[in-house]
Structure 1
């Protein structure tokens, strides 16, 4: 009997709980100090200010301390101008499931929840709802299925100590939603949440795990996520962003950002100053509406970016100042209805920018690319496309025999050459032709052809250089002259005659060359027999001179080609 009495005394509910609350904070807290393990049950009670004959329209629990047992406000009714739990302390689990909060302000500012806090299916009426400077120290903070009416909802300087925060299936009306300077949250989930006409601001926050908006719906308000650190993944898959703007800026994200299958209507989209530490940026099968799309100042470390099968509407799309760092970028099968600009793309190693099988209805601009190869195979462009600012170093492996690491590089570069030729950009076409040949060497080319290709590359850079074959020709002339002098026992004064002989042999098509050759031989050998090697040496010299002269002519022709 004594145990039963203790159990009964450990639960405070109904009218006794009501009467004790009406006596004020000091009396209440003294009781809690003596019954620290008790359970408090206000479930389904009516806290209407009118019914309670309160002097003010405020239902106040300011400074109240609740014991280590559960504190239950499930289904409670708070019909007043204001409900306040400022600086209240809940040592046990706090349950407000299904509670109906007043049309006036609801304040949990400075409240401390030592255990789980549950607001599932709670209804917040038209007033402002604030959890500013609140501490959630439990593992679970649940607002699943809660409804927020016209008032603003704010979580400023709120601390979630490794708490998982969920707003699954929550409904927000026209009020603004603000999460600012929150810290130490484990996961935050807005899965299937419905946001109305207010703005959603998520700023200067640190989330130690994932942020999830999967299947969420936004209305006319904008979504602004700024100056945040996410140690997990940010998930916006299958989100309807409605008519508002979307901004994601100054973000450190460790395990990726996913916008796949999301839909944007008329709002502008700005993704800027995002550092993806390990994970990818995914936006496959997304539909971007008629607003301006901007992706700029993005850093990706060894992962990838993918916009496969997405559609961009009538607003222009800009991709600027992207640092790939050996990553892959995939825009295959993307439909761009307006103009597109890709500028200032950098990578420390070769990076593939896949634009294959994409459709560009208006202008496509590509400039200031470094180590990034655009793959435009099977793509369709409708206007002039300049590639003269696209530079990359073909990634090859091997010490002596360097082979392209990707056999498909040749076809990609061939497409770039084709576009340059269509646009009469001969210099770019030559440059891409050289890279195409390097990509084929030791892959599609056999041994002998690869050797010839390598010689062609060394001696003239595939017909792009005049200096290289000219330098080789001068070296050949001086070497041949030196051989004639030293092997024939001649003296240095005869070096001039040998140079005249070699020059005449190099330029046989000049009329005077024949007479110069005969005169130089007479001066060098004074009518004696010519050395046995002499004719072979001259014929070899003449052959290689012809080759180098041809390469010089090829370089001149390519330089001044109209």
Structure 2
């Protein structure tokens, strides 16, 4: 077997076992005098070394700063390492065998390496509640668990925690109220046969990344209810999950990557106000066999292109803000900002399509408006982009009724003043002229009314006699065209507001 310890003096084999049998006081006294020594229990069978309660008793043991080797050790029934301090150096439980409950609650791990790789835990709870891990790499890669695994209230400070390709046969993996300070988590390729992964009750994440790439939850869920997420990225690529509850209390400027994610049941993305800091939310090519809910106020466009779903997708409370940048100098000049990412138009088109499929007209209007903004100057011609700017300014793409209504009132009032100013008949002086200007302007703005034609002719005669002149004709045509546009926008807004 490869030597797993450093070159420091080593207490191992029968000598280490005999010292341990003498109890905690004798053990800790020896460690105080030999704190730099390695301790090697490799291959030791502790199955018959039980106290009166059937436990292998390591409660409160100190292990100094040398390496601690339990490689391929066998612990049989219950094992209790509660409140133990494993000091520094390496801690190796690789390929160890545990039976029954295993307790590491409130233990301290400041080791440069904590290795439980390929360890096998029997039926019973594995409890790391309240444990503290700092400044090292902690790996449970390829380990097997057959009961609940609890890290409730544990602390990981500058730690890389790895469960890659681990197997959880039954029971939950619980990180409730756990604190991750600049820690990285890796569940890539892990399998949960009959249990869930819980990050609930204000689990706090720092800036480290969390990886679920290719993880499989056959009959289990992933739950972030109430978690406080930092700036680290979260990767769900190609993961298979029964249900996903992504409902954190806070989130930083992270990226959520979930391409080809597959979820059998319900999926909930309810993002907090701080989600405005998100850099991306990508579920491209994901598959949702149950209802999907996506809520939040985002400053990015989530990518749900090529997704497959068989139940309703709720986007009614999803509000997005199109990221835009100032244009570069060129000809013809771009008269407004343009989309930062040219792909945002396609992303918004997919959001609009899903909203229309679910008869959510208001959400479809919001996404359609942003889609037009995203296409401006990129997919739309220069002249079309100018018209698009006007459409946006005067009606917010048919979502606003007040803007065209106010524009029509202003146009009518301005035209009234111009008609009065251009009057040539002396009978149009004073209030009479203003009244006739108002009648001419109103009748020209509302030509569809039955009285409009007669009122317009009478007002023209009163103001200009038999020949209004070219300027008045141009003014009337311009007012008529603009009035028609504003009336159309008012009608479009009413139609969109009261669409059934």
Please confirm whether the aligned pair reaches a TM-score higher than 0.5, indicating the same fold. yes
Alignment match, 2:331: none
Label 1:504 to 1:243 Cα distance change in 2 as closer, same or farther (>3 A).
closer
Alignment match, 2:192: 241
TM-score (norm 2): 0.83
Report the CA distance between 1:420 and its aligned residue: 4.6
Q: Distance in 2 between matches of 1:530 and 1:193?
A: 92
Alignment match, 1:93: 38
Report the CA distance between 1:288 and its aligned residue: 2.4
Alignment match, 1:549: 487
Label 1:244 to 1:445 Cα distance change in 2 as closer, same or farther (>3 A).
closer
Label 1:198 to 1:90 Cα distance change in 2 as closer, same or farther (>3 A).
farther
Alignment match, 1:29: none
With a CA cutoff of 8 Å and minimum separation of 6, indicate the structure with the bigger relative contact order: 2
Contact 1:210-1:233 at 8 Å conserved across structures = yes
Report the CA distance between 1:475 and its aligned residue: 1.3
Q: Deviations over 1:21-75 (max 9, x none)?
A: xxxxxxxxxxxxxxxxx978563469799xxxxxxxx93233126788xx8xxxx
Contact 2:301-2:347 at 8 Å conserved across structures = no
Q: Distance in 1 between matches of 2:448 and 2:24?
A: 106
- Pair 1:498 & 2:437 matched: yes
- Pair 1:327 & 2:289 matched: no
Contact 1:165-1:186 at 8 Å conserved across structures = no
Label 1:505 to 1:100 Cα distance change in 2 as closer, same or farther (>3 A).
closer
Alignment match, 1:20: none
Q: Distance in 1 between matches of 2:234 and 2:142?
A: 23
Q: Deviations over 1:186-223 (max 9, x none)?
A: 23533434334222111212222111112222222321
SS in 2 for 1:172: strand
Report the CA distance between 1:486 and its aligned residue: 3.7
Report the CA distance between 1:236 and its aligned residue: 1.0
Q: Distance in 1 between matches of 2:494 and 2:315?
A: 28
Q: Distance in 2 between matches of 1:42 and 1:556?
A: 84
Alignment match, 2:219: 266
Alignment match, 1:473: 408
Report the CA distance between 1:561 and its aligned residue: 4.8
SS in 2 for 1:210: strand
Report the CA distance between 1:306 and its aligned residue: 1.9
SS in 1 for 2:371: helix
Contact 2:304-2:350 at 8 Å conserved across structures = no
Q: Deviations over 1:296-351 (max 9, x none)?
A: 226442221122223223x43333345532321222222233x123243333x2x2
- Pair 1:303 & 2:248 matched: no
Of 165-174 and 415-424, the range deviating more from structure 2: 415-424
Alignment match, 1:129: 79
Alignment of 1:74-473 (within 5 A): 90=35, 92-103=37-48, 104=50, 105-150=55-100, 152-208=101-157, 209-230=159-180, 231-249=182-200, 250-289=203-242, 292-297=243-248, 299-313=250-264, 315-321=265-271, 324=275, 325-337=277-289, 339-347=290-298, 349=299, 351-371=300-320, 393-398=321-326, 400-422=335-357, 425-473=360-408
Report the CA distance between 1:258 and its aligned residue: 0.8
- Pair 1:43 & 2:8 matched: no
Contact 2:10-2:40 at 8 Å conserved across structures = no
Q: Distance in 1 between matches of 2:240 and 2:280?
A: 21
Q: Distance in 1 between matches of 2:396 and 2:292?
A: 31
Q: Which ranges in structure 2 are unaligned for 5 or more consecutive residues?
A: 1-7, 328-334
Contact 1:67-1:92 at 8 Å conserved across structures = no
Q: Distance in 1 between matches of 2:102 and 2:108?
A: 16
Contact 1:302-1:327 at 8 Å conserved across structures = yes
Contact 1:64-1:89 at 8 Å conserved across structures = no
Structure showing greater radius of gyration is 1
Report the CA distance between 1:413 and its aligned residue: 2.9
Label 1:370 to 1:463 Cα distance change in 2 as closer, same or farther (>3 A).
closer
Report the CA distance between 1:127 and its aligned residue: 3.8
Report the CA distance between 1:184 and its aligned residue: 4.5
Q: Which ranges in structure 1 are unaligned for 5 or more consecutive residues?
A: 1-37, 50-57, 72-86, 372-392
Report the CA distance between 1:124 and its aligned residue: 3.5
Q: Distance in 1 between matches of 2:450 and 2:307?
A: 59
Contact 1:285-1:309 at 8 Å conserved across structures = yes
Label 1:255 to 1:485 Cα distance change in 2 as closer, same or farther (>3 A).
same
Alignment of 1:63-78 (within 5 A): 63-64=25-26
Label 1:344 to 1:470 Cα distance change in 2 as closer, same or farther (>3 A).
closer
Number of residue pairs matched by the alignment: 471
Alignment match, 1:538: 476
